[in-house]
Chains A and B, each alone.
Chain A
Amino acid sequence: MDDTSKKLVEIQHLKQYFPVAGSSILSRTYVKAVDDVSFFIRKGQTLGLVGESGCGKTTTGRTLLQLYEPTAGRIIYDGNVIFDSGNVPLYDENGKPVLDGEGKPVLGKKTKVNMLPYRRKMQIVFQDPYASLDPRMTVGDIVGEAIDIHKLASSKAERRDKIITMLERVGLNSEHANRYPHEFSGGQRQRVGIARALAVDPEFIVCDEPISALDVSIQAQVINMLEDLQREFGLTYLFIAHDLSVVKHISTKIGVMYLGKLVEMADSYELTFHSCHPYTRSLISAIPIADPITSRNSKRIVLQGDIPSPVNPPSGCHFRTRCPYADKLCAEAEPKWGKVGEGHWCACHHLDRVD
């Protein structure tokens, strides 16, 4: 794909901290759900975010859409800064920090725009097709809600036509418009969820685990549909999932998250076949392959231990408690996000030792 197409979405040093439920109001403790994550997505491409539960991938997607107010960081959409907490350095087009006369980094201006116009450009598809559709609304009204909010139809007939167009675009028909969500199967509901996101003609869609609640035989339908829609309308996706094989299939680039931080990011081929971070490697090796001979012959790296609680992550490198290469340095210092190849970034102290 085209590596020179413009950056459509970019986040810089995004942080999202949530107060821990039950912690006292006076001395709040925080979960660092997303902790200093930066990436960009080029127009028409798909960035996949993978990681295990509690790694912050879903929160990243939702914060990016400002469904939560970010704790800190900058969000840029199509060249416009739509959020800036005012305490992160500015960057030029090449990704170098902008410096002032004394060589100190210049900080961005505090910004928070009205999101309503951007809601037409950035949309989201949810994981749970049961919980994400209002059970009291007909499918037509669910898809039509965006049309009502943004006043995209001037008459009832036009609204109806638009709804039917959207339903047909996702493989449903006009007969389905008057039915309620509970009458549909999981796969059909997910199609309704996608039709709702498409109703505003968006450019960018966050797909938040769109297939993990679906039956295996339905997953491929939805993946194919997402790919077709991307091709037809030039959509840009942020595809969030815990299943690396699906993410690898659909994504141009993949970012791997662990306890609120990005640990590795590369083109999807590069990441699956030439990963550097020990976590990415064990993640890849842990995925069972649907082929008896391959899986009999492959040696798995089984990670020991559990994922630490995100409320109280380990010091230094968050992965060190489960990492076979961990030493004193990993406990003391946080590894730097460094370039290891063309478009391949990784945060690990011991890249030289990971063979």
Chain B
Amino acid sequence: MSEHLVDIKNERLSFFTPAGEVKALNDVSLYLEDGEVLGIVGESGSGKSVTSYSIMGITADPGRIIGGTVEFNGHHIEKLSEKEMRKIRGKEVSMIFQDPMTSLNPVYTIGNQIEEAILLHTDKSKAEARERAVELLRLVGINEPEKRIKQYPHELSGGMRQRVMIAIALACEPKLLIADEPTTALDVTIQAQILELIMELKEKLGMAVILITHDLGIVSSMCDRIAVMYAGKVIECGSTDDIFYTPKHEYTRGLLRSVPRLDEKESQRLVAIEGTPVDMLNPPAGCPFAPRCPKCMKICLREMPPYTYFSDIHYSACWLNQKEEFENAGKEES
């Protein structure tokens, strides 16, 4: 039994596609405390969504967990059956998705859909569930909830739909909310509303949040800790300040440098990360970032770097950090 709310240890997950095995997760370890906000940053194919889906016990079809453990709230997710998982999903852990249009069923009213989530996990009566649905809609900042409850998803705007999705996710006051790119499909001004709402609800309900995004701006204002993923591996993890002010991995550094900032007075040339993302069917033998890394060394081409710890919570997988250790060790000996 782990003391953490979520404790993923050495998870390996592969997709067995006709073209070959895709190692979507390659030895991923992550943990999450009660009430904490963890940001997972990475580009498409980095495994950030796959990691959090596996906490929900969801693995898309050709995928299989082939190693490691996923513990959530005392459950060993990787050992649970689909039936047992269904009791946990929606009750202890919920998820909101990128596209609020496709995740709502267009033929039911939003009231029906929220009530369904409530009735599934509690023994409330229909009338009580309706009451709770109205209450939830009010909680997520939808005005006139009594009227809205009778509307269909297509009658609502994108931002409203995302609010409804959040209401459904929160129906049973879960301990963990997974938000998978919750604002990517929304406009900036609507994004600000939704992010503010998530933070407000997190304070109110005391739940933990995993925020998956590619936007460094969003994590900087919302998260306690950040995990940076690249090619199915957590390459750096630390507190938000660690990641932004003392990044220890060349990829993290590159990401931070490559984003233009609105508040800079003079436009400077961006420092791009050269090269193309890893082909997950033919990943390089050593560090997956090696082909794009400006400071790549011989060993990076051959061996996967081990983690170096800079504090209890800040660690990174890069041979450059090991190089310092190695040189220091050498000096001590001589």
Chain A residues with CB under 8 Å of chain B are: 52-53, 185-188, 215-221, 223-224, 227, 242-246, 248-250, 268-269, 272-273, 282-292, 294-296, 300, 302-304, 306-307, 322
Report whether B214 and A292 are in contact in the complex, using a CB–CB cutoff of 8 Å.
Answer: no
Q: Is B329 an interface residue (CB 8 A)?
A: no
Report whether B221 and A227 are in contact in the complex, using a CB–CB cutoff of 8 Å.
Answer: no
CA distance A216 to B215 in the complex (A): 8
Contacting residues, chain A, for B196 (C-beta < 8 A): 300, 302
Most buried by A among B160, B254, B273: B273
Q: Is B258 an interface residue (CB 8 A)?
A: yes
CA distance A302 to B187 in the complex (A): 12
Q: Known: A215-B44, A289-B261, A302-B196. Is A221-B220 also a contact (CB below 8 A)?
A: no
CA distance A185 to B292 in the complex (A): 14
CA distance A246 to B264 in the complex (A): 12
Contacting residues, chain A, for B276 (C-beta < 8 A): 185, 187-188, 218
Contacting residues, chain B, for A242 (C-beta < 8 A): 187-188
Select one of B189, B244, B255, B267 contacting A217, CB under 8 A: B255
Q: Is B265 an interface residue (CB 8 A)?
A: yes
Contacting residues, chain A, for B260 (C-beta < 8 A): 220, 223, 245-246, 248-249
| Chain B 31-66 interface 0/1 with A at a Cβ cutoff of 8 Å (1 = within) | 000000000000110000000000000000000000
CA distance A242 to B270 in the complex (A): 19
CA distance A52 to B259 in the complex (A): 20
Contacting residues, chain A, for B220 (C-beta < 8 A): 288-292, 295
Most buried by A among B189, B216, B254, B260: B189
Report whether B189 and A283 are in contact in the complex, using a CB–CB cutoff of 8 Å.
Answer: yes
Report whether B262 and A221 are in contact in the complex, using a CB–CB cutoff of 8 Å.
Answer: no
Q: Find the A residue at minimum CB distance from B46.
A: A215
Contacting residues, chain A, for B240 (C-beta < 8 A): 292
CA distance A217 to B257 in the complex (A): 10
Instruction: Provide a sorted-by-A list of 6 A–B residue pairs whose CB atoms are within 8 angstroms.
Output: A218-B43, A220-B272, A221-B273, A245-B260, A287-B262, A288-B221
Select one of A217, A289, A322 contacting B262, CB under 8 A: A289
Contacting residues, chain A, for B255 (C-beta < 8 A): 216-217
B22 → chain A closest CB, angstroms: 15
B99 → chain A closest CB, angstroms: 13
Q: Is B88 an interface residue (CB 8 A)?
A: no
Q: Is B112 an interface residue (CB 8 A)?
A: no
CA distance A187 to B221 in the complex (A): 28
B311 → chain A closest CB, angstroms: 16
Contacting residues, chain B, for A219 (C-beta < 8 A): 258-259
Most buried by A among B188, B215, B244, B263: B188
